[in-house]
């Protein structure tokens, strides 16, 4: 039986930890060649060691550095001549109550979660349009769909990703390029744990399925969206939340 992502060329941002690392690992296990992106030199060494340098190629750049990002996509084009999937995972979460929201915080969150997501989508779409196929997976959040008190900025950035995904899916469908987003709930990573122990406990009690999500739960949904199993699925926002309430 062939693997789900046999010989697909994929780019995964934020691949050094959390959900992005789980995605990169699973994609390699499913037969893909993964260009794993991170901003800190050497932070992908362990992953390269686990997956093998012929299957996992590290690319180092900050996603807010458009020149660095462009060079990375040019390297993929030069080495592979194609791109089958982009997992636009890198993101940050910063909380601020209304009345306490500094403009700098808005810029920082939107630069990473929205502007960099658009930049990567554009570079990927450039390659995918030429070949007439490809799957772009953006990262929204349950918070971007439902909203939550105390996270107006983060929620707005992830809501923008929903709108971006739907608009880009319509624009790129005629060229065979699919664009979907995942909207994870409470996934046990550094980002989620940064809300503090008390809120982590509260959130866990608000999941219908009775447990926090794992990075692998999200990675499996991404594998489906990157694979040909979803080849007629576009413009969708896929919740991965075990029936969580925010
Ligand atoms: N965990 C959840 O419950 C949850 C729920 C909904 C949505 N999400 C979304 O899922 C995605 C992954 O989250 P996670 O929980 O895995 O978070 P995480 O553990 O904090 O990992 C975030 C990743 O993004 C990278 N990153 C952040 N800013 C970057 C930048 N400027 N340039 C390059 N890389 C950057 C980080 O790199 P460094 O290691 O260098 O910081 C890290 O690899 C995010 O988009 C997040 O908003 C998460």
Query: How much of the chain exceeds pLDDT 70, in percent?
Result: 100
Is 154 catalytic? The answer is yes
Low-confidence ranges of the chain (pLDDT < 50): none
pTM above 0.85, yes or no: yes
The domain that holds 98 is classified in CATH as 3.40.50.720
Q: Which of 12, 15, 18 to mutate to test the pocket of ligand 1 (most atoms within 8 A of CB)?
A: 18
What is the CB < 6 Å shell around ligand 1? 14, 16-20, 38-40, 62-64, 89-93, 112, 139, 141, 184, 186-187, 189-192
Is 91 inside any structural domain?
yes
Is 1 inside any structural domain?
no
Is 209 inside any structural domain?
yes
Tally of domains in the chain = 1
Is 3 inside any structural domain?
no
Residues 6+ apart with CB under 8 A from 221: 182, 238, 240
Is 246 inside any structural domain?
no
Residues 6+ apart with CB under 8 A from 42: none
Is 75 inside any structural domain?
yes
From the CA of 174, how far away is ligand 1's center (Å)?
31
Is 172 inside any structural domain?
yes
pLDDT at residue 110, as a whole number: 98
Q: What sign results for the dihedral spanned by CA atoms 119, 120, 121, 127?
A: positive
Q: How distant, in Å, are the alpha carbons of 128, 129, 133, 161 from that of 75?
A: 15, 17, 19, 26
pLDDT at residue 139, as a whole number: 99
- Rounded Cα gap, residues 109 and 203, in angstroms: 22
From the CA of 1, how far away is ligand 1's center (Å)?
33
Is 121 inside any structural domain?
yes
Domain that holds residue 20: 9-240
Cβ pair 144, 165 in contact under 8 A: no
């Amino acid at each position: 039986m062939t693997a789900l992502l046999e010989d697909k060329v994929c780019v995964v941002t934020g691949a050094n930890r959390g959900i992005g690392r789980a995605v990169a690992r699973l994609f390699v296990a499913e037969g893909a060649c993964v260009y794993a992106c991170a901003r800190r030199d050497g932070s992908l060494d362990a992953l390269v060691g686990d997956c093998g340098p012929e299957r996992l190629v590290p690319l180092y750049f900050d996603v807010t550095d458009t020149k660095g990002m462009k060079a990375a996509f040019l390297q993929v084009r030069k080495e592979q001549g194609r791109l089958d999937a982009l997992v636009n995972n890198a993101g940050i979460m910063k909380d601020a109550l209304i009345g306490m929201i500094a403009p700098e915080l808005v810029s920082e969150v939107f630069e990473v979660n929205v502007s960099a997501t658009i930049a990567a989508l554009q570079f990927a779409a450039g390659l995918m349009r030429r070949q007439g196929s490809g799957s772009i997976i953006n990262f929204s959040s349950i918070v971007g769909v439902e909203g939550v008190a105390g996270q107006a900025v983060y929620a707005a950035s992830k809501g923008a990703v929903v709108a971006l995904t739907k608009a880009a899916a319509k624009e790129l469908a005629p060229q065979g390029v699919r664009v979907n987003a995942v909207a994870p709930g409470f996934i046990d990573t550094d980002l989620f744990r940064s809300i503090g122990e008390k809120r982590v406990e509260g959130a866990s009690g608000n999941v219908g399925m009775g447990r926090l999500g794992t990075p692998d739960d999200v990675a499996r949904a991404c594998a489906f969206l990157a694979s040909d199993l979803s080849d007629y699925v576009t413009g969708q926002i896929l919740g991965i939340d075990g029936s969580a309430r925010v």
